A = this chain, B = another copy of it.
Amino acid sequence: MAMGFHADEIRQLIKKGNFVELTELLKDSHPVDIAELFNELDPQEYLCVFKRLEFSTARDVLEELDPEKITFILTNIKLQYAALLIREMSSDDVADYLGMLPENIRQNFLYLLKNQDQKDIRTLLSYPETSAGGRMTTDFIAFPKDMKAEEALNKLAELAPDAEMIYYVYVVDHKGKLLGVVSLRDLVLSAPHTPLGGIMNTDVKKVLASQDQEEVTRLMEKYGFLALPVVDEEGVLLGIVTVDDVMDVVEEEATEDILKMVGTEEEIDPERSSPWYRARRRLPWILVALFGEIISGNVIKNFSEALQALVALSFFIPLLMDMGGNVGTQSAAIVVRGLATGEVNPEALWKNLLRETGVGVVLGLINGAMVAVIAYIWQGMPALGLVVGISMVLNLTIAALLGTFIPLMWNKLGRDPAVTSGPFVTTLLDIIGLFVYFSTALWILKL
């Protein structure tokens, strides 16, 4: 039920020069919708629309646009207005934007900012993009602890247009050290003359600027905060990360996990559609699998006498390979996701291994019994049924065990468990699975 725009309608209004109606149409629209509209318009068209926006809407729209559009707009409007806009944009958005520009153009824009803002932006640009420091904005509100609630509310009304999050007021000492937090809710509810020190909550959850964004996400999800303060080693408040930025992080991290699990880091970005570029992102794990499967082929080669003696052995190769891969990938996905959400405890190695291996045994017994019967009926050889059944039990047990062990181990080594859980696990299980299958065949069928 979200209302958008029809680009055609807007285009008509521009062509007819009907700017009164255009302004009216834009007046109550959400900046995100306007930014989306810009994607469908030509530069001259969206420039024309942009010029009709109220100041605060114009600023909010800028925060949503991609770097090329921002640059086109800022270089095609009056310099003073551009400076004013960029000064009022949220500092993390400005930093994100400037971070994507070439150094020489960046300098031109930095020059438009006030001294303090320049310093803030430079600080933000200095943190890795995925750290708390890289995600934070410096547009927070901090007051001393002896300020009265009433005064704080008035100050807030003054500062609000410039701050990203006015629902939390941070209380700091004269060195900027974070002492506590007061929610706007508490402020509204307090007697006017209470000092902030009396209503602030001193059990403030916070992160270091150098900590990873996953820690930020974890704390905000756990406590349901709208913003989380970021401090330096001395506890000085540097910035805040707001909940809307964190939601993006949660989504990004989940997508990253999924893509790593299938062995690719291809970006899901419809704009970069060159198949060469995309293929390159997928190639590394594909190549690992390629060489792994040549080893699988070699296993078959080493047992080729058995295979020639009983060609029916080959009919079950796909079955055994695929089932092992499926069970292994399932176990790996459960571990990887469990580690990401905190529901799997990486320390409880044996407990996790035992649990998943138990599942592997159960799946192995059920499937092993079924395929043994099927193989017997299909090929009319009870001994072959036995070989396939036993191999299946062994393979699925090994698959569950390794599918659990490898990502847990990789995680313990401080690496990202997701990258090991797709092609790597499958390929390894193929090699082991074929070896187990043919060894069982030699043993039982005495080929």
Contact = CB atoms under 8 A, between A and B. Distances in A.
Interface of A: 1-3, 28-30, 32, 153, 156-157, 160-161, 166-167, 184-185, 188-189, 201-203, 205-208, 219-224, 226, 243-244, 246-248, 250-251, 254-255, 257-259, 261-264, 266, 268-270, 273, 275-276, 278-279, 282-283, 285-287, 289-290, 292-294, 296-298, 300-301, 304, 307-308, 311-312, 314-319, 321-323, 325-327, 329-330, 332-334, 336-338, 341, 343-345, 355, 358-359, 361-363, 366-367, 370-371, 374, 378, 422-423, 426-427, 430, 434
B259 A366 contact: no
Nearest to A288: B326
B276 A362 contact: yes
Given A29-B203, A325-B426, A282 B2 contact: no
Nearest to A205: B2
10 contacts: A226-B226, A259-B337, A270-B343, A283-B363, A290-B371, A296-B318, A307-B311, A314-B317, A321-B322, A325-B426
A414 B308 CA distance: 48
Contacts of A203: 3, 28-30
A226 B244 CA distance: 8
A325 B325 contact: yes
B243 A359 contact: no
A123 B419 CA distance: 45
Contacts of A322: 289, 292-293, 296, 321, 325, 426-427, 430
Judged by DSSP, the binding face of A is: helix
B290 A423 contact: no
Contact of A333 (B205, B244, B258, B273): B258
B326 A222 contact: no
Contact of A221 (B30, B247, B263): B247
